[in-house]
């Protein structure tokens, strides 16, 4: 049952609305003029409201406050976690049925920097604007779903919780989620407000863009800089120097010859790949360069330990003993995420999605959750290729599909689903 509150009426009066084939904003159309499915309209408006709150990484507080206000107005318990994290639902209050499996919906509110794509707009069945697909549309679904279901929590097959966090778009070392999970594990019970810990979840659904499909696990993401040292000289007498770009070029050729290696988990195929991403070197057109740098990105499969990944990457570089010590600097390293599609709730989500599961050929916060011991999958309304584009958008029917799929999962659960 979907309940409309005074907040909804107010929200409809201040956000954009959907009209067939038109671009509209709140200043153009009154709520009475709106047409279309009420849920679709509400999810679009909620997404647009979030899009229009700038929240680049390290500046997410206004978006977090907006979501907290919406949840509180609907009676959903809210708790502020460590590292600019908002937790709510049964993570912030006791459950009527504490034996029901806990499902957590998770999303990040930060975006990449603006590219003249704010404010957002609603146009032709889509919400356009910075972060619409990655992943403010998903965060709007999380908030609206919790607001709608909370009054019926006693009748749900699952306990429900939400986590909205910051700084996902930054390097792994700056992510807010892992420090939050660490702090949460050590938080005294009396500070949980009677709610559960994240690590008690039977399943976490990370609502990264997946086009409405369940994508399992994620790749590890290792970035390194390789430094080559030679000797500068005049370019007219190159024999008097050692060209660092020659050594870099040899490594570049070797990397281009490294094949993608396929790994299968739970019937899903992940590709292990190493890629040269940028080159730096040279002083002037008449100087043999004495130094050069090569940036390398290595994506490795679920199940590979981080230490093994670093050894494998160094082996692919084939620098030799004289260069191995100090030639490679690890710039960033985000571990891979486990493939956890065997849980009954994950299987039920796959069935409800209407699509076969896919491998996540990228990195997502699923890694942080599975490292913490929580089964987690990716499932969200956004379209991955649209993330970070200037004309980023999320389809409104995708928002509805995600909402209704998760609503059914939370209401009905899955046979034999326990924690």
Indicate if 159 and 23 belong to the same structural domain: yes
Query: In this model, does residue 165 exceed pLDDT 60?
Result: yes
Indicate if 185 and 48 belong to the same structural domain: yes
Indicate if 329 and 233 belong to the same structural domain: yes
The mean pLDDT value for 35-40 works out to 81
pLDDT at site 83: 85
Rounded distance between C-alpha atoms, residue 388 and residue 99, angstroms: 41
Tens digit of each residue's pLDDT (9 = 90 or more) over 95-149: 888 999 999 999 999 999 999 989 999 999 999 999 999 999 999 999 999 999 9
Query: In this model, does residue 10 exceed pLDDT 50?
Result: no
Q: Where a domain ends, among 277, 309, 334?
A: 334
Task: Supply the mean pLDDT for the chain.
Answer: 89
Rounded distance between C-alpha atoms, residue 75 and residue 91, angstroms: 14
Q: Where a domain ends, among 334, 367, 382?
A: 334
The mean pLDDT value for 366-380 works out to 96
Find the catalytic residue in 110, 184, 375, 383. Answer: 110
Residue 380 lies in a domain: yes
Pair 377, 343: CB distance under 8 Å? no
Indicate if 350 and 203 belong to the same structural domain: yes
- The pTM is what? 0.86
Tens digit of each residue's pLDDT (9 = 90 or more) over 264-297: 999 999 999 999 999 999 999 999 999 999 999 9
Domain count, the chain: 2
Any idea what the CATH number is for the domain that residue 309 is in?
Answer: 3.30.70.360
Domain holding 355, by residue range, is 6-217+337-412
Q: Is 168 a catalytic site residue?
A: yes
Query: In this model, does residue 382 exceed pLDDT 50?
Result: yes
Residue 419 lies in a domain: no
Indicate if 165 and 252 belong to the same structural domain: no
Strand order across the 215-216 sheet = 78-81, 85-89, 159-165, 102-108, 203-206, 376-378, 215-216, 358-359
Indicate if 79 and 131 belong to the same structural domain: yes
Rounded distance between C-alpha atoms, residue 353 and residue 401, angstroms: 8
Tally Cβ neighbours within 10 Å of residue 259.
Answer: 9
Indicate if 292 and 350 belong to the same structural domain: no
- CA 175 from chain centre, in angstroms, equals 11
Q: Where a domain ends, among 313, 334, 355?
A: 334
Poorest-pLDDT segment among 18-27, 76-85, 87-96, 243-252: 18-27
Residue 417 lies in a domain: no
Rounded distance between C-alpha atoms, residue 325 and residue 166, angstroms: 36
Percent share of the chain, pLDDT over 90: 79
pLDDT at site 318: 80
Residue 294 lies in a domain: yes
Query: In this model, does residue 252 exceed pLDDT 70?
Result: yes
Q: Which of 215, 419, 184 is nearest to 302 (CA)?
A: 215
Find the catalytic residue in 45, 60, 168, 272. Answer: 168
Query: In this model, does residue 7 exceed pLDDT 70?
Result: no
Indicate if 182 and 230 belong to the same structural domain: no
Pair 67, 109: CB distance under 8 Å? yes
Indicate if 204 and 172 belong to the same structural domain: yes
Query: In this model, does residue 324 exceed pLDDT 80?
Result: no
């Amino acid at each position: 049952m979907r309940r409309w509150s005074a907040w909804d009426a107010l929200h409809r009066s201040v956000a954009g609305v959907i009209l067939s084939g038109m671009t509209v904003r709140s200043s153009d159309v009154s709520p009475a003029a709106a047409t279309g499915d009420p849920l679709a309209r509400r999810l679009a408006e909620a997404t647009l409201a979030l899009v229009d709150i700038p929240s680049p990484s390290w500046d997410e507080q206004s978006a977090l406050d907006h979501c907290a206000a919406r949840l509180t107005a609907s009676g959903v318990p809210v708790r502020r976690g460590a590292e600019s994290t908002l937790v709510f639902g049964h993570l912030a209050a006791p459950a009527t049925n504490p034996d029901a499996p806990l499902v957590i919906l998770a999303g990040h509110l930060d975006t990449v920097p603006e590219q003249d794509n704010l404010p957002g707009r609603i146009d032709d069945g889509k919400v356009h604007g910075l972060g619409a697909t990655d992943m403010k549309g998903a965060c709007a679904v999380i908030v609206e779903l919790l607001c709608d279901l909370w009054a019926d929590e006693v009748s749900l097959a699952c306990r429900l919780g939400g986590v909205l966090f910051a700084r996902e778009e930054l390097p792994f070392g700056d992510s807010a989620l892992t420090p939050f999970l660490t702090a949460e594990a050590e938080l005294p019970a009396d500070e949980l407000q009677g709610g559960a810990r994240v690590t008690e979840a039977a399943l976490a659904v990370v609502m990264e863009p997946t086009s409405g499909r369940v994508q399992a696990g994620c790749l590890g993401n290792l970035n390194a800089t390789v430094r080559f040292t030679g000797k500068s000289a005049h370019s007219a007498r190159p024999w008097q120097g050692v060209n660092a770009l020659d050594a870099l070029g040899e490594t570049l050729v070797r990397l281009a010859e490294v094949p993608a290696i396929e790994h299968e988990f739970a019937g899903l195929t992940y590709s292990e790949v190493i890629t040269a991403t940028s080159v730096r070197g040279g002083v002037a057109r008449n100087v043999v360069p004495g130094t050069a740098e090569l940036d390398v990105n290595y994506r490795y499969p679920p199940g590979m330990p981080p230490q093994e990944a670093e050894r494998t990457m160094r082996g692919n570089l084939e620098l030799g003993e004289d260069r191995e010590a100090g030639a490679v600097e690890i710039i960033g390293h985000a571990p891979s995420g486990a493939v956890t599609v065997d849980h009954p709730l994950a299987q039920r989500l796959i069935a409800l999605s209407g699509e076969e599961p896919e491998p996540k050929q990228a990195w997502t916060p699923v890694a942080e959750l599975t490292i913490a011991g929580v089964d987690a999958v990716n499932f969200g309304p956004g379209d991955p290729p649209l993330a970070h584009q200037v004309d980023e958008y999320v389809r409104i029917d995708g928002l509805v599909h995600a909402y209704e799929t998760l609503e059914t999962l939370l209401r009905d659960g899955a046979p034999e689903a326990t924690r």
